[in-house]
Structure 1
């Protein structure tokens, strides 16, 4: 498996923002507001997307910074385009990247 790119394409395809694990997280909601502001900024804006601002793509960025996510809820990783595209079912961890770290 090649390293999963931390890119706008993958951010946009990621299901984390719709996942029950983090849907009630205030930290995630705050990060989503920041992401919206960034996407509305001019391309020359000093604000950029980075792993600390994006509540998702944990399969490449590792564990979630937000600690108020609820990993007792059902994970959606196996429904994600990225999970399917990169064959993440064959790698560790198999799901719950937000809790267990990036796919290796």
Structure 2
């Protein structure tokens, strides 16, 4: 697939706004950690490990938070990262957070 796990892709990723993650306590906790890192650390990019970021699943694989709701609507196809990398053309065309590729 070749999607880089980078601060640029983290910023452009829609996963944090996705209804699939809306009610997840785990995602909410990880969002708080991300906010704290970016507010307190000028070198925050170095501390954004895949286990801290609830998103960019097209890069990292399946979600680490298991309390997400796969019955909600997925926003993958509306994401800039998705479009830029032609992810709709692959075998997995939605719900990267659930179906590791």
Q: TM-score range by the shorter chain?
A: over 0.9
Name stretches of at least 5 consecutive residues in structure 1 with no aligned partner.
none
1:20-72 Cα offsets, whole Å, 9 max, x none, are 00011000000000000111123357x70011000000001000010000011
Q: Which residue is equivalent to 1:42?
A: 41
1:48-99 Cα offsets, whole Å, 9 max, x none, are 0011000000001000010000011110000000010000011121110000
Q: Which residue is equivalent to 1:25?
A: 24
Name the TM-score, length of structure 1 as normaliser: 0.90
**Structure 1 runs (4+) greater than 6 angstroms displaced:** none
Q: Which residue is equivalent to 1:57?
A: 56
2:19 aligned counterpart, secondary structure: coil
In 2, Cα distance between the equivalents of 1:81 and 1:31? 22
Number of equivalenced pairs: 100
Name the TM-score, length of structure 2 as normaliser: 0.92
RMSD of equivalent CA atoms:
1.5
The structure with more helix, counted as a fraction of residues? 2
